[in-house]
C-alpha cells in the first residue's frame, strides 16, 4: 500500500501539505455530490452542462478512492425528492448512468471495481435501470473498491421500508418487539451488508443531509466544502481524508 501511495504521489510528495496516514484511510466514504447546477449557472451554461461535467468528477474521485485503498464509495446521484425537478432535467439525469457506464465500465472492470446500486428501482426508466444492472452483473465478482450509486435513494423511505418489514416479522410472531435491535433495522436498509460511512463529504457549501443515509451517518465524520462538484478534485478529496485523520472518533465514550 505504501508503495502504491508513493508511486501515486511521486515526485510531488514534498509539495503535499501533509502526507496521508495509509493506516487510517476511511473504509467507507459517502459523498453528496452537489452544486452542478450552480457551477453551470456561474458559467452561463444550462444546468445540464453541470451534470455532464459532474460525471467527470465521478470518474476522477472513483479512481482517487481506489488508489487510496478506500473499500466503499457511496455517491448520492439522485434522491427520491429530485423527481420534483423539471422533466427535461430529470430526463437528462436519468441518461447519465448509461453514458457514464458506456464510457467507464471497461476501466472500472480493469481496476477490479464492483458497481452496486442503492435505491428504488421501480421508478427508474428501463434504460437507466438496465445500464446499471448490467454494470452490477458484470462487476459482481470484482473484489476491489465497491462503487455504490445512491440512485433514487431516500433515507426516510428506506427506514419506513425497514419498519414495515420488521412489523411484518412481529405480526407473524417471528420477532418480539422487545427483541428489536439496531442490527434488525440495519439489515433491512438498502445499505445492508455495507458498513456505515466513516466519512461524509458534501460539496457546494450546503450544510444539510438532504435525506441521505440518516441512520447510517449516526457516527460518521462530516466534511463540507464550498467547492462545486464539477470542480472537486483529487486534492480536495485528500483534504477531506486528511481532516478525517485529525479527528478523534469517540462514539460517546472518552
Residue choice 33, 65, 118, 129 for contact with ligand IPE (CB under 6 A) = 33
Q: Does 59 bind ligand IPE (CB under 6 A)?
A: no
Q: Does 49 bind ligand IPE (CB under 6 A)?
A: no
Q: How far is the CA of 8 from the CAs of 1, 5, 14, 39, 236, in angstroms?
A: 10, 5, 13, 29, 16
CA angle 68, 230, 26 (to 5 degrees): 25
Q: Answer with the entry of Mg ion, ligand IPE, none that 164 interacts with (C-beta below 5 to 8 A by kind).
A: none
Q: Which of 166, 108, 103, 178 is nearest to 137 (CA)?
A: 108
Residue choice 61, 93, 113, 213 for contact with ligand IPE (CB under 6 A) = 93
Contacts with 29 (C-beta within 8 Å, 6 or more apart), sequence order: 65, 70, 72, 73, 74, 197, 198, 199, 200, 201, 240, 241
List beta partners, residue 123.
none
Q: Answer with the entry of ligand IPE, Mg ion, none that 151 interacts with (C-beta below 5 to 8 A by kind).
A: none
Residues serving a catalytic function are: 34, 82
Q: Are 230 and 172 in contact (CB under 8 A)?
A: no
- Cβ 43 to ligand IPE, closest distance in Å? 12
Residues 159-198 close enough to bind ligand IPE by CB under 6 A: none
Q: Where does this chain touch ligand IPE (CB under 6 A) — which range of 3-11, 33-41, 132-140, 239-247? A: 33-41
Residue choice 26, 28, 29, 37 for contact with ligand IPE (CB under 6 A) = 37
Closest to ligand IPE by CB, 84 vs 174, is 84
SS3 142: coil
Q: Does 32 bind ligand IPE (CB under 6 A)?
A: yes
Residues near Mg ion, by CB under 5 A: 34
Q: Does 225 bind ligand IPE (CB under 6 A)?
A: no
SS3 120: coil
Q: Answer with the entry of ligand IPE, Mg ion, none that 78 interacts with (C-beta below 5 to 8 A by kind).
A: ligand IPE
DSSP string, 186-229: HHTSTTTTSPPPSEEEE-TT--S-TTS-TTTTTT-EEEE-SS-G
Can you give the binding site for ligand IPE, defined by CB under 6 A?
Answer: 32-38, 76-79, 82, 93, 204, 206, 208, 210
Amino acid at each position: 500500500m505504501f508503495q502504491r501511495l508513493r508511486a501515486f504521489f511521486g515526485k510531488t510528495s514534498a509539495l503535499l501539505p501533509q502526507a496521508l496516514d495509509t493506516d487510517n484511510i476511511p473504509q467507507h466514504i459517502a459523498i453528496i455530490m452537489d452544486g452542478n447546477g450552480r457551477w453551470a449557472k456561474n458559467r452561463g451554461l444550462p444546468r445540464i452542462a453541470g451534470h455532464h461535467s459532474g460525471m467527470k468528477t465521478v470518474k476522477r474521485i472513483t479512481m482517487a478512492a481506489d488508489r487510496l485503498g478506500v473499500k466503499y464509495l457511496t455517491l448520492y446521484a439522485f434522491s427520491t425528492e429530485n423527481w420534483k425537478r423539471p422533466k427535461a432535467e430529470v430526463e437528462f439525469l436519468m441518461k447519465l448512468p448509461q453514458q457514464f457506464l458506456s464510457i467507464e465500465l471497461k476501466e472500472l472492470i480493469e481496476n477490479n471495481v464492483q458497481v452496486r446500486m442503492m435505491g428504488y428501482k421501480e421508478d427508474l426508466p428501463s434504460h437507466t435501470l438496465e445500464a446499471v444492472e448490467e454494470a452490477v452483473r458484470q462487476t459482481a465478482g470484482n473484489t476491489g473498491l465497491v462503487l455504490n450509486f445512491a440512485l433514487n435513494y431516500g433515507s426516510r423511505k428506506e427506514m419506513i421500508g425497514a419498519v414495515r418489514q420488521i412489523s411484518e416479522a412481529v405480526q407473524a410472531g417471528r420477532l418480539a418487539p422487545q427483541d428489536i435491535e439496531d442490527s434488525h433495522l440495519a439489515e433491512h436498509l438498502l445499505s445492508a451488508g455495507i458498513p456505515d460511512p466513516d466519512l461524509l463529504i458534501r460539496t457546494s457549501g450546503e450544510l444539510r443531509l438532504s435525506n441521505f443515509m440518516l441512520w447510517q451517518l449516526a457516527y460518521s465524520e462530516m466534511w463540507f466544502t464550498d467547492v462545486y462538484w464539477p470542480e472537486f478534485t483529487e486534492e480536495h478529496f485528500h483534504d477531506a481524508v486528511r481532516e478525517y485523520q485529525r479527528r478523534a472518533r469517540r462514539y460517546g465514550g472518552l
